[in-house]
């Protein structure tokens, strides 16, 4: 085959471009460790500078300088109002009452749920300068998750307790809460039916332990609550909730919805992808390390984190906690371990500059892509 001079020049230019692209160094991902004071249970940043974290033993901290320094804002037994507040509410805490999750809708409005003997939800409307208490719940409540879709509408959930589903909603910004009626929309789990000897579809009367772990919305209308052997969803902004089909039994720790038809689940030690109603397991840890959280920056780039943890009551000397962070850059087809720690990693949040925060017992890690 013969080439004229023009064609040869074009080929040489193309080859030179391809070679130069191959020789370009790949930009290394940068990691930063944000200093902290106590073990991190949950954290939330409202922007690059302002953030909060709640500690396992009841302390609540705030930063205004991107985590360089932290100030203790609330501690057990203290009044929750600020210096100029007339609030006399006391932040109740004991060994069985710990802050579990913090959520901010915007820079002003935030909520913290606690697992307590009687449950507690505290809220702020002024960016955390003062905190207000809700009316305590009259029976055992241990909340794990909280989410607000607007300044008025929110949900809180937690483990199964007192033979009731711990799932509550508010329509006044968290001042008052009421149980979510799911009796008409969720059938009893087959395992629970076998244990109780009942076939009724009244989910709230099943005496089987069910943990509700996470509340997620992709838009104001479509939301999910994931937990032990169950996923419930709403298509009308929370007016009705119905049981979703499961690909597999297990503990659904977290999920992320790119859209109502494109969802990702962290299930036990696996990652499950749902697209237009079809669920597929795409990754699984061979050592049975738990996948705690999952997040997608866009349809191609996603992150998951987890590991193994040692209970404070465990006496097993061979059980050592581990942590990992996974990344996908091809829409979840493959996952690569990009970070290991000596503690389980739990919690993911994206910041406006596209950096990603991960929480663990040692503090908060920031990934700068």
The string of pLDDT tens digits covering residues 26-68 is 456 799 988 776 778 899 999 999 999 988 777 788 999 998 8
Q: What is the CATH number of the domain that holds 246?
A: 2.130.10.10
pLDDT of residue 291: 96
CA 141 to chain centre: 19
Please indicate, yes or no, if residue 28 is contained in any of the structural domains.
no
Per-residue pLDDT at 24 = 41
- Whole-structure pTM over 0.75, yes or no? yes
Residue 343 domain-assigned (yes or no): no
Residue 282 maps to a domain: yes
Show the domain range for 256: 37-309
pLDDT reported for residue 129: 84
**Residue 342 falls inside a structural domain:** no
Number of structural domains the chain divides into: 1
Q: Which residues are registered as beta bridge partners of 53?
A: 43, 61
Q: What's the pLDDT at 125?
A: 93
314's CB contacts (< 8 A; 6+ apart) are none
Domain-located, residue 109? yes
Which residues in the chain land under pLDDT 50?
A: 20-26, 79, 81-91, 93-95, 163, 183-194, 196-208, 313
* C-alpha gyration radius of the chain: 23
Residue 158: the pLDDT is 83
Give residue 83's pLDDT.
41
Q: What is the pLDDT of residue 333?
A: 96
């Amino acid at each position: 085959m013969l080439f004229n001079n023009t064609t040869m020049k074009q080929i040489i230019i193309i080859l030179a471009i391809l070679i130069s692209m191959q020789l370009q160094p790949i930009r290394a991902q940068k990691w930063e460790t944000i200093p902290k004071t106590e073990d991190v249970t949950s954290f939330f940043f409202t922007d690059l500078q302002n953030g909060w974290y709640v500690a396992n033993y009841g302390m609540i901290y705030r930063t205004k300088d991107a985590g360089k320094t932290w100030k203790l804002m609330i501690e057990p037994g203290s009044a929750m109002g600020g210096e100029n507040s007339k609030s006399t509410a006391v932040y109740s805490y004991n060994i069985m009452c710990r802050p579990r999750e913090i959520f901010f809708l915007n820079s002003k409005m935030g909520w913290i749920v606690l697992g307590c003997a009687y449950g507690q939800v505290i809220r702020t409307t002024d960016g955390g300068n003062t905190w207000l208490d809700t009316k305590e719940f009259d029976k055992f409540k241990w909340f794990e998750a909280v989410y607000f879709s607007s300044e008025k509408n929110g949900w809180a959930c937690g483990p199964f307790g007192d033979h009731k589903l711990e799932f509550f909603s508010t329509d006044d910004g968290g001042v008052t809460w009421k149980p979510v009626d799911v009796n008409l929309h969720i059938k009893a789990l087959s395992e629970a039916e076998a244990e109780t000897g009942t076939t009724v579809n009244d989910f709230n009367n099943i005496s089987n332990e069910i943990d509700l772990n996470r509340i997620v919305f992709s838009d104001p209308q479509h939301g999910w609550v994931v937990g032990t052997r169950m996923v419930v969803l709403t298509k009308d902004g929370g007016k009705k909730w119905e049981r979703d089909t499961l690909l597999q039994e297990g503990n659904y720790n977290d999920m992320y919805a790119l859209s109502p038809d494109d969802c990702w689940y962290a299930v036990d030690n696996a990652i499950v992808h749902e697209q237009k109603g079809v669920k597929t397991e795409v990754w699984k840890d061979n050592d049975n390390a738990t996948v705690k959280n999952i997040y997608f920056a866009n349809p191609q780039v996603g992150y998951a984190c987890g590991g193994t943890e040692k209970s404070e009551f465990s006496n097993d000397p061979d059980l050592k906690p581990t942590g990992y962070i996974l990344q996908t850059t091809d829409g979840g087809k493959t996952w690569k371990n990009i970070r290991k720690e000596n503690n389980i990693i739990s919690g993911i949040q994206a910041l406006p500059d596209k950096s990603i925060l991960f929480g663990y017992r040692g503090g908060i890690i920031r990934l700068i892509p």
